[in-house]
């Protein structure tokens, strides 16, 4: 079996990579919906893949990894890696999790991530309403994550929130930064108290906080929230679209509070997780399979983190249903430092009509499928009408 073509189409909001072979089998890889610009990068990478055996995943990845970088530029490499595993699984008649060593759990826990209630005022009552909706969601979530501080509209909606500048940008990113006012710190604590009053002790609460906070504010916030027993405070210093790790700053925060710290969704490759893990700079890492370099890369990092007592809660909010399938496969194989993965958003809703085989979330878990590859398949007839004119030949 040899690779004959690498293709990419934007289906709805999500770019999808397809690896075509001379055997008639194809492998698919997800890309975050914010990255349709990866097509030229894929065209360049394809030169290293045409004519190769797609089941020799690691051999091909050795050639590809140097052509990626921190989010967003590792997306193309990651999508190809996932598509290669999908192909290898289909060729062997096995699910990806068996190729990665086998599942150690039959169900994987998820948290809301891409399933969130809209917010407008960012006051305590608004946050209480939002988590009430998540508590009542049919998914049965046992963990709920909510954006606060710099990772929310709070930074603009609350007067005198921070001492920095607001910087509008046409790109998806969080670039506001500065010291929080006392009013802001008190407001965040009040919002967390309102959410915990709704969720109680049975549903865990995690917070997405930035990036953008200063080290003193992160320490103050972590200590102020210790009484709420939160699962983690995410991306306080660096995070989404930050091209660096800043492990030394996170370590200072982590050592100053019992509230767990979390980061990692932007990081590409295992080498760039070393400082976070070896210095125990955070209590939880959150690599994204669509940015870290794929499924095997994520599994390696998870196992290395486990050796150091660091937990893992993989990121995935923008990866779509195909990304959900990938997360289910790899998370089934992770060691017991695994907490839960971030359930991607399903946008548009018709994705559930064009992708078959993915089990639903029930009681906060997804049952791991044992069908080959990613365990899902496109219904090509139903998908075709949603393709742009330039992508009509994607499935040919």
So where are the chain's domains? 3-93+378-391, 99-374
Q: Which residue has the tokens 């190809």?
A: 80
Would you tell me which CATH number, out of the four given (3.30.390.10, 3.10.250.10, 3.40.50.2300, 3.90.420.10), belongs to the domain 3-93+378-391? 3.30.390.10
Residue 168 near residue 229, CB atoms below 8 Å:
no
Q: What is the pLDDT of residue 105?
A: 98
3-class DSSP string for the chain: CCEEEEEEEEECCEEEEEEEECCCCEEEEECCCCCHHHHHHHHHHHHHCCCCCCCCHHHHHHHHHHHCCCCCCCHHHHHHHHHHHHHHHHHHCCEHHHHCCCCCCCEEEEECCCCCCCCCCCCHHHHHHHHHHHHHCCCCCCEEEEECHHHCCHHHHCCCCECCECCCCCCCCCCCECCECHHHHHHHHHHHHHHHHHHCCCCEEEEECCCCCCHHHHHHHHHHCHHHCCCEEECCCCCCCCCCCCHHHHHHHHCCCCCCEEECCCCCCHHHHHHHHHCCCCCEECCCHHHHCCHHHHHHHHHHHHHCCCEECCCCCCCHHHHHHHHHHHHCCCCCCECCEECCCCCCCCHHHHEECCCCCECCEEECCCCCECCCEECHHHHHHHCCHHHCCCCC
Q: What is the pLDDT of residue 291?
A: 96
Residue 121 near residue 130, CB atoms below 8 Å:
no
Enter the tokens of residue 63. Answer: 């050639």
Q: Report d(CA 225, CA 80) in Å as an integer.
A: 41
CA contacts within 13 A on the Cβ side of 40: 2
Residue 184 near residue 162, CB atoms below 8 Å:
yes
Q: Report d(CA 326, CA 51) in Å as an integer.
A: 25
Residue 214 near residue 148, CB atoms below 8 Å:
no
Q: Report d(CA 84, CA 350) in Å as an integer.
A: 26
Q: Report d(CA 11, CA 214) in Å as an integer.
A: 39
Q: Report d(CA 392, CA 390) in Å as an integer.
A: 6
Distance of CA 333 to the CA centre of its chain: 17
Q: What is the pLDDT of residue 13?
A: 84
Q: What is the pLDDT of residue 170?
A: 84
Enter the tokens of residue 226. Answer: 């210790």
Residue 109 near residue 363, CB atoms below 8 Å:
no
Enter the tokens of residue 343. Answer: 């359930």
Q: What is the pLDDT of residue 249?
A: 98
CATH H-level, domain 99-374: superfamily: Enolase-like C-terminal domain (3.20.20.120)
Q: What is the pLDDT of residue 350?
A: 95
CA contacts within 13 A on the Cβ side of 173: 17
- Burial label for 140, CB within 10 Å (0-12, 13-18, 19+), is middle
Per-residue pLDDT of the chain (396 residues; tens, 9 = 90+): 999 999 999 998 889 999 999 999 999 999 988 777 788 888 889 999 999 999 999 999 999 999 999 998 999 999 999 999 999 999 999 999 999 999 999 999 999 999 999 898 999 999 999 999 999 999 999 999 999 999 999 999 999 999 998 888 888 777 889 999 999 999 999 999 999 999 999 999 999 999 999 999 999 999 999 999 999 999 999 998 999 999 999 999 999 999 999 999 999 999 999 999 999 999 999 999 999 999 999 999 999 999 999 999 999 988 999 999 999 999 999 999 999 999 998 889 999 999 999 889 999 999 999 999 999 999 999 999 999 998 999 999
Distance of CA 379 to the CA centre of its chain: 25
Q: How many CB atoms sit inside 10 A of residue 136's CB?
A: 10
Q: Which residue has the tokens 């399933």?
A: 115
């Amino acid at each position: 079996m040899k690779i004959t073509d690498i293709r990419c189409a934007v289906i709805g909001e999500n770019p999808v990579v397809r690896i075509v072979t001379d055997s008639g089998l194809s492998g698919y890889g997800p890309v975050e919906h914010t990255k349709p610009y990866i097509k030229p990068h894929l065209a360049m990478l394809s030169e290293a893949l045409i004519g190769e055996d797609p089941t020799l995943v690691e051999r091909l990845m050795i050639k590809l990894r140097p052509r990626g970088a921190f989010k967003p530029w590792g997306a193309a490499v990651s999508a190809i890696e996932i598509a290669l595993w999908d192909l290898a699984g289909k060729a062997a008649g096995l699910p990806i999790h068996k190729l990665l060593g086998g599942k150690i759990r039959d169900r994987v826990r998820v948290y809301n991530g891409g399933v969130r209630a809209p917010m407008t005022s960012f006051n305590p009552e608004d946050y209480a309403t939002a988590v009430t909706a998540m508590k009542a969601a049919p998914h049965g979530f046992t963990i709920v994550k909510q954006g606060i501080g710099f990772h929310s509209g709070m930074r603009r909606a609350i007067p005198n929130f921070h001492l920095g500048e607001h910087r509008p940008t046409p790109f998806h990113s969080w670039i506001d930064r500065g010291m929080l006012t006392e009013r802001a710190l008190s407001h965040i604590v009040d919002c967390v108290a309102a959410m915990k009053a709704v969720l109680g002790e049975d549903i865990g609460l995690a917070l997405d906080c930035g990036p953008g906070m200063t080290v003193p504010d992160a320490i103050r916030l972590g200590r102020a929230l210790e009484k709420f027993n939160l699962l983690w405070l995410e991306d306080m210093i660096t995070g989404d679209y930050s091209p660096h790790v800043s492990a030394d700053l996170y370590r200072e925060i982590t050592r100053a509070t019992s509230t767990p710290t979390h980061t990692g969704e932007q990081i590409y490759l295992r080498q760039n997780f070393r400082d976070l893990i070896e210095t125990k700079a955070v209590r939880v890492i959150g690599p994204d399979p669509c940015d870290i370099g794929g499924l095997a890369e994520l599994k390696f990092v998870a196992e290395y983190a486990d050796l150091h007592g660091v937990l893992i809660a993989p990121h995935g909010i923008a990866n779509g249903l195909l990304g959900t399938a990938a997360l289910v496969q790899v998370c089934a194989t992770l060691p017991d430092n695994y907490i839960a993965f971030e359930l991607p958003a399903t946008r548009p809703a018709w994705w559930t009509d064009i992708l078959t085989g993915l089990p639903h979330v029930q009681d906060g878990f997804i049952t791991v499928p044992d069908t080959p590859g990613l365990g899902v398949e496109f219904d090509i007839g139903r998908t075709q009408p949603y393709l742009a004119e330039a992508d009509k030949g994607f499935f040919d």
